[in-house]
Structure 1
Amino acid sequence: MMGPVLAACLLIILSTAWISQANEALCKKDGGVCSCNNNKNSVDCSSKRLTAIPINIPTDTENLKLNYNKLSKLSPTVFHHLTKLRQLYLSNNQLQALPIGVFDQLVNLTDLRLNQNQLQSLPDGVFDKLTSLTQLTLDQNELQSLPHGVFDSLTKLTYLSLNSNQLKRVPEEAFDSLEKLKMLQLQENPWDCTCNGIIYMAKWLKKKADEGLGGVDTAGCEKGGKAVLEITEKDAASDCVSPNTTTAIPIGTMTPASVIYDDIHEIKVPQENFQKFLGYQEPDHLPTQPQCLMSISGYLGLMMSLMLTSAAILYVFHFLKKA
């Protein structure tokens, strides 16, 4: 016969399993699309073919992975309830624009990854509230220009990647606030070294090269084969017209709050059975059959753990009563 100590240990193990299942089920109440750890401070929605962000991400999330999806638009307020975020991965999507104010509530964010998207411009002040940011990746986009003062608030930034874009120059004083910067990636941009608009950048890179900043020699002139930091005022004597650096984001690019998923090829299930359970704003687009099976299996596991826990409690009470 099982002793009281062994019975108590079994009870603790089963209770722990039940709590773990409960946390996992709570995190997966979006239908099993995303997964998270038991403490709910890390949510992984990567590689799910999402076209919009699920609405049931826990508010205490600190690490949110949305990379490798099909996101092309963001709602201006999509992150406003995630004020504890420290890491936000949006890389490897299809983002064409960022709405004004989209990151304004993320004052604790330290790592923002926007690389490998289709961004052609940035709205004014898009990073102004991110005063804790230490890493920002904007490489492998289609940026043609940068707004004036776009990095002014990023005084703690240590890593910045702007490589593989369509940048010809940067605005005056663009990098002046980046006193903590350790690495700057600028390669594979068509830097125009024939216009005097490049002189600020050339002088800044030359100064930072003497101070040991990494990556200052990665910016190469589109023509002539020189590094930008080697360019003098004599080399860039032409007074060229600078491109518009404050392109506004059209209102039409903002995502309506009702959009969550689109045309993922999937096996349809009856809408009425899942509408309340899934919690999507637009229940016409339901998860795929494997995602439903994942959610169902999670709840079956939860029920099994609950039954075993109840049985263990009854056994302990029965044993103690006899004793």
Structure 2
Amino acid sequence: MMGPVLAACLLIILSTAWISQANGATCKKDGGVCTCNDQTKNVDCSSKGLTAIPSNIPVDTDRLELDYNKLSSLPSKAFQSFTKLTFLSLNYNELQTLPAGVFDHLVNLDRLHLNYNKLKSLPSKIFDSLTKLTWLRLENNQLQSLPHGVFDKLTELKELSLDNNQLKRVPEGAFDKLQNIKDLRLEENPWDCSCNDILYLSKWIREKEGKVNGIESATCVNKKAVLEITEEEAAEDCVYPNTTTAIPTTIITTLASSNDDDIPELPVPQENFQKFLGYQEPDHLPTQPQCLMSISGYLGLMMSLVLTSAAILYVIHFLKKA
């Protein structure tokens, strides 16, 4: 009688393995690049050397990690299917810009990590749809300015990190709508305390001192605390350059009067030329290792099916003999 019992046990074990393999295959539609968990809806694509977001990540994913890759840009519709996402991490990539609307469908997002990238600016309404966001990390980028009202919709935000950027000022009222903010990191920025634009930030820090962690550590380029700046010290009415400034007419006149032979030919990077023509790289092309991983997954699934069939035949054989 031990034969059928052992066979039954083997059948249960192999069936469990087959179910697990099937779940894994469902989760690895992208070719096996990411580590997925169907039960927790977590997808980890970290440290894969990715230059594009893998295709066919399950749309019901709750947590998506894309840290430590080589992402330099994102398609504007990169996350439009992930309406159930609550956690998105893009730390330690090479992002230089964010397309407007890239986060518009992430209406349930609770945490967004964009730290350790190369962001120099943000689109004006980039976070407007993230009304449930409680944690936003933007530290260790190259942000030179913030759009007016960029945080206005983040009324549930509790933690915001802007440290280690290139910020000299923030717009008037930048933090006024952050009703639930508990921690705001502002240190390691070259705050320009000679301009009267800094007075809003200085006053806001004084009013929130002791209520919001981290704000007192903001210092001017001369190492004086921002909260200590007076109107007399910040008397200058500074105007900062921006990318939308018109070209001076003297330059236009000079260019118009120049001979064509005098104008040097400027090399145009191939990627910029492609963008001008409207060419876009596909979101993701599987590499050879990814294809091999996919093939190995299917082979494992077939092996599980063969062993399961063998176990069933083994049980039937012993039952007939009994």
Same fold (TM over 0.5): yes
Of 238, 243, 253, which residue of structure 1 is paired with 2:236? 238
1: CA distance, partners of 2:62 / 2:4: 41
Could you tell me how far apart the structure 2 residues matched to 1:100 and 1:118 are?
A: 17
Are 2:244 and 1:221 aligned? no
Aligned to 2:27: 27
In our comparison, the structure showing a higher alpha carbon Rg is 2
Deviations 1:29-88 (A, max 9, x none): 322221212437111111111111111111011111111111111110010011111111
Q: Which is worse superposed, 38-47 or 312-321?
A: 312-321
Cα distance in 2 for partners of 1:246, 1:17 equals 60
Structure 1 distance, partners of 2:219, 2:140, is 16
Q: Which residue of 2 aligns with 1:273?
A: none
Q: Following the alignment from structure 2 to structure 1, what is the Cα–Cα distance between the partners of residues 79 and 244?
A: 24
Q: Report percent identity of matched pairs.
A: 65
CA distance in 1, matches of 2:155, 2:5: 57
| Residue pairs, 1:96-107, within 5 angstroms | 96-107=96-107
SS at match of 2:208: helix
Counterpart amino acid of 2:34? C
Q: Hey, what's the Cα distance between the residues in 1 that align with 2:21 and 2:297? A: 7
Contact 1:35 1:44 in 2 (8 A): yes
Offset at 1:322?
Answer: 4.8
Q: What residue in structure 2 maps to residue 277 of structure 1?
A: none
Residue segments in structure 2 that go unaligned for 5+ positions in a row: 246-271
Equivalent of 1:260 in 283, 303, 316: 283
Q: Which residue of 2 aligns with 1:83?
A: 83
Report the Cα distance in structure 2 between the residues aligned to 1:185 and 1:138, rounded to whole angstroms.
10
Question: Aligned partners of 2:41, 2:63: CA distance in 1, in Å?
Answer: 6
Q: Is the 8 A contact 1:63 1:88 kept in 2?
A: yes
Query: Where does residue 146 of structure 1 map in the other structure?
Result: 146
Instruction: Report if the CA contact (8 A) 2:29-2:57 is conserved.
Output: no
Return closer, same or farther for 1:159/1:243 CA change in 2, 3 Å cut-off.
Answer: farther
Partner SS, residue 103 of structure 1:
coil
The two structures have a TM-score, normalised by structure 2, of 0.84
CA change 1:182–1:5 in 2 (3 A) is farther
Correspondence for 1:276: none
Task: Rate the CA distance shift 1:320–1:139 in 2: closer, same or farther, 3 A.
Answer: same
Q: Which has the higher contact order (CA 8 A, sep 6+)?
A: 1
Cα drift, residue 307 of structure 1: 1.4
SS at 1:112 equivalent: strand
Partners of 1:141 and 1:165 within 8 A in 2: yes
The 5-angstrom pairing of residues 34-113 of structure 1 reads: 34-39=34-39, 41-113=41-113
Question: Residue 220 of structure 2: SS of its match in structure 1?
Answer: coil
Letter in 1 for 2:82: L
Q: 2: CA distance between counterparts of 1:105 and 1:87?
A: 13
Matched, 1:155 2:155: yes
Residue segments in structure 1 that go unaligned for 5+ positions in a row: 262-279, 281-285
Structure-to-structure mapping, 1:123-134, within 5 angstroms: 123-134=123-134
User: CA, structure 1 residues 229+307, in 2 after alignment: closer, same or farther (shift >3 Å)?
Assistant: same
Q: Which residue identity is paired with 1:259?
A: P
Q: What does residue 315 of structure 1 align with? A: 314
Q: Deviations over 1:120-175 (max 9, x none)?
A: 11001100000111111111111110011111111111111111111001011111
Distance 1:38 1:9 in 2: 25
SS at match of 1:88: strand
Give the aligned residue type for 1:44: D
